[in-house]
Structure 1
Amino acid sequence: MANNDILQLGKLMCSVTRECLWRPAEQWVQERSPGSFLYCRVGSGQATYHRYDSRDRQHLITYGARMIAAKHQPDTASGWLSGREIRQRGYFSGELSTLNLLAHTCCHEFAHLLQQSAGQRFRGSVHNRHFYTILDELHESGAAHATREALADQARNQGVPLPDTPFEPMDTVQHLMHWQVGDTVCFGTGRRELQGQIIRVNRKTCTVDGIGSSRGVRYRVPVQMLSRPGQR
């Protein structure tokens, strides 16, 4: 997928987050923390997160471009928490597709915003029962569906490809069998492709020490995103 399309999808995710999720909840958030506001942005890497700055009361949601790219293919999409949530909790009828994954990612990060505003986010306990109560409510109330439909409509209107065809998740265990400590791997896409050496094989990810231009940086990479240099 072209980098411009990925960037545009990220901007659309920011737009629907503000329109479909922030706008209906803004008054509720303001009552708990007057002056709070939301800023959404597209990051250049994989990191996708919500962060709150109590000094200026800014809620920041970042959607990583590499995350958006990864959710376009079954072999790289299934390692993300958003995919496991859709399947295990029955969101969007349990179907994995690029549209469902990206729409749910908007809901997931916004649930962290509501969790923070409610005082239910704690150090060492982020994806706790309070968080999933909020996330379930976003889906049950229709907010998640509205987010999905708005994202699909805006992408269609702007001519940005956004597949909605369901795909089957890849087997993480089978992927893990292909890797061991010491293997040289690559991950990422295009000019953002990185290389490293596996130093630890975890339950669903591999810990990778960067090499070459990435030397000195350590990554925790979903196993489905790994490949051997020269295989792409």
Structure 2
Amino acid sequence: MSPDHHQSIQLGDLLCEATEQLLWPSARHWVRERQPNSLLECRVGHGQATYHRFDSRQQHHLITYGARMVAAKQQAETAIQWLSSREIQQRRYFAGELSTLNLLAHTCCHEFAHLLQQVAGKRLRGSVHNRHFYGLLDDLHHQGRAEEVRGYLAEEARRRNLALSATPFTPPDQRTLVDQWQVGDRVSFGEPPRRKRGRILKVNRKTCTVACDPGTARYRVPVQMLRRLVVSPGD
């Protein structure tokens, strides 16, 4: 395991602690009124998949923070590909300022809002990042929960000698983002479990037209959302 990956796992552990110690206690009573005996477990995965899942039989909520997601949010070029970056900028969370610290604190709130959304019965098939979800996410920021998480992450990272930068970074220029793509490039976009894969058919001014595999579905995808697929020989 590389030192960088090991540190990403340690930072992921901090996200778990912040979620369990700050966000969960503030909502536990409300959750258990609707889902008696509900429990929350947070864990760190070695990949980039970051998500909330609920086991209705066990009344068990699971939030996974991917170590590679943590690593991706260490620099602007990879951080801008994540939905959390666009949410911070467009909804003016943390005054719209992007930094690794802000992105990771917001990620905790984003996944916890999915937990609250599921408990409220508003996580619908084909409608995950919907109006109800963003109402819950807005509340976590406006009520100061996001700042609490941010402060906890900053203090604990400092105490444990983990690098967690609060320095703002500037997203890459739009033209630079567009110029890195060509017709025929194989790409993925979206987050698990709804990630899609395909091939670029057309490069536009701010988006790429992608034909997804399998089938013929086409999507106009903002270039910030695209990730390059490594193609094995013979693919």
TM-score, normalized by length of structure 2?
0.80
Q: Cα–Cα, structure 1 residues 172 and 109, in superposed 2: closer, same or farther, change >3 Å? A: farther
What is the distance in 1 between the residues matched to 2:127 and 2:175?
26
Q: Name the structure 1 match of 2:222.
A: 203
Partner SS for 1:34: coil
Shift of 1:44: 1.0
Q: Name the structure 2 match of 1:74.
A: 76
User: What amino acid maps onto 1:64 in structure 2?
Assistant: G
Shift of 1:183: 4.1
Partner SS for 1:199: strand
Shift of 1:182: 3.5
Q: Name the structure 2 match of 1:7.
A: 9
Q: Name the structure 1 match of 2:117.
A: 115
CA deviations over 1:160-202 (Å, ceiling 9, x no partner): 11000001112355323321244489xxxxxxxxxxx972343
Alignment counterpart, residue 46 of structure 1, candidates 27, 45, 48: 48
Q: Name the structure 1 match of 2:204.
A: none
Correspondence 1:183-198 to 2 at 5 A: 183=185
User: What amino acid maps onto 1:50 in structure 2?
Assistant: H
User: What amino acid maps onto 2:123 in structure 1?
Assistant: R
Q: Name the structure 2 match of 1:222.
A: none
Correspondence 1:1-232 to 2 at 5 A: 2-172=4-174, 174-183=176-185, 199-200=199-200, 201=210, 202-204=221-223, 205-206=225-226, 210-212=230-232
Partner SS for 1:113: helix
Q: Which deviates the most, 112-121 or 200-209?
A: 200-209
User: What amino acid maps onto 2:116 in structure 1?
Assistant: L
What is the distance in 2 between the residues matched to 1:8 and 1:55?
31
The answer to whether the 8 Å contact 1:75/1:169 transfers is yes
Q: Cα–Cα, structure 1 residues 33 and 80, in superposed 2: closer, same or farther, change >3 Å? A: same
CA deviations over 1:187-221 (Å, ceiling 9, x no partner): xxxxxxxxxx97234333447555349x98xxxxx
**Uncovered stretches (5+) of structure 1, i.e. residues with no partner:** 186-196, 217-232
- State the identity %: 56
**Uncovered stretches (5+) of structure 2, i.e. residues with no partner:** 188-196, 201-209, 211-220
What is the distance in 2 between the residues matched to 1:206 and 1:82?
14
What is the distance in 2 between the residues matched to 1:88 and 1:161?
27
CA deviations over 1:122-149 (Å, ceiling 9, x no partner): 0111111100110010001111110100
| Matched length | 204
Q: Cα–Cα, structure 1 residues 95 and 157, in superposed 2: closer, same or farther, change >3 Å? A: same
User: What amino acid maps onto 2:140 in structure 1?
Assistant: L
Task: Report the aligned-residue RMSD.
Answer: 2.2
Partner SS for 2:74: coil
